[in-house]
Amino acid sequence: MTGAISGLYVLDVADPLHPVQVCQLLNVTSGRFVSAAKIVFWYSTFVGTADLQTGSLNWSRAWVNAPMAVVFSPDGSNWAYREGDDSGVRTHLVIGGKDQVVLTRGPVGGHGGVPWGPVSQLAFSASGQYLLTYTLFRDAGGPPNFIVYAMDGTAAFQSTTAKFGVWDRSGNRLYFLAAKAVGEIAGTVVSWDPGGQPVARSAKVSSYFWPTLSPDGTTLVFNTYGAQSFPHPWRLDIARRVRAIVASATSTQPVFMGPDVIWSNEGIPCACGIGGTSAPDGRVIAHNLKTGVNSVVLGIANLTPSKSPTEDIEDVWFG
């Protein structure tokens, strides 16, 4: 997970109530696991690999100017990134060292933050064969907000109403919210497989944000906003298409930390303006999906001073 300074904390979360810091990678912007002991990362104009067993670091220069965001394929061999200037934002796909621009968006003007969901997403499928690009805001008349690209740079799927995608843990299945219309936050959770049409996986949901998938790929956990506009984590059994509330307390940004445990940020009511009606108070809550017990995660505040620790989780490796 990212820290307040430029770097990553690597945590042992075998006991999700008592995380233990394993090491810290300095001068790292973001990264992901490619194995239980290796992390690929980027910083400024460099990409690299950290070996947690040997402590070795290897990196090389990849850009002349630092990009805005970088994501890696599951094996770390390919990556995608965004860079921009006053003329707009460009999304690049780098395959086998070959860099190509797959998407160009014009400037959209200033926007404040939103109290829910990722404003943009860039993520490879589990197989590394497809890339999801999503942005909440787009230039008028520009490409759709939600586009999936194949590795040759062609668009495999696109939508102006889809939101908040999350890839399956294996293969190329993508789950997302099929909203009723542009700008809507209500709709139906669906899945998409390459070459097919979206398949409904839920009844209508009133809101759907920050989705995350269980290690076995059977359960989606996400935030829904209640009648008083406070976020609560819900779960969806994908096969049975049954959803249920995880906790009635206010919390947001759920992340699976094991087969039956998720972490979320506890929230407190506030007049937060564009931030919504609640804000994280710095405490992380562990929700045991088997027992229904909710517990404060001990020691997490000592590992990162972030106000939204689960939002800062870059990746989780399930052994």
Among candidate residues 76, 46, 5, 63, the one with its CA nearest the CA of residue 315: 76
Mean pLDDT computed over 4-18: 89
pLDDT for 112 equals 52
Beta bridge partners of 270: none
Given this model, what pLDDT does residue 31 score? 95
Q: Does 307 score more than 80 pLDDT?
A: no
Q: In this predicted structure, what is the pLDDT of residue 129?
A: 98
Confidence of residue 319 (pLDDT cuts 50, 70, 90): confident
pLDDT, one tens digit per residue, over 241-259 is 999 999 988 999 999 999 9
Q: For all residues of the chain together, what is the average pLDDT?
A: 91
Q: Which of 18-27, 146-155, 165-174, 197-206 has the lowest mean pLDDT?
A: 18-27
- Report pLDDT for 109: 60
Q: State how far the Cα of 38 lies from the Cα of 54, in Å rounded to an integer.
A: 10
pLDDT in tens, 194-233: 999 999 999 999 999 999 999 999 999 999 987 778 889 9
pLDDT confidence of residue 80: 98
> Could you give the CA distance from residue 2 to residue 167 in angstroms, rounded to a whole number?
22
What is the spatial distance between Cα 207 and Cα 229, in angstroms, rounded to a whole number? Answer: 10
**Cα 174 to Cα 146, 169, 212, 220, distances in angstroms:** 12, 10, 12, 12
Sign of CA dihedral 220, 315, 194, 164: positive
The pLDDT score that the predictor gives to residue 164 is 94
Q: Which residues pair with residue 187 across a beta bridge?
A: 179, 205
Q: Is the pLDDT of residue 30 over 90?
A: yes
| Count of other CB atoms within 10 angstroms of residue 240 | 9
pLDDT of residue 303: 77
Phi, psi at 94, each rounded to 5°:
-115, 110
Confidence of residue 274 (pLDDT cuts 50, 70, 90): low
Distance CA(111)–CA(163), nearest Å, equals 18
In Å, the largest CA–CA distance within the chain is 53
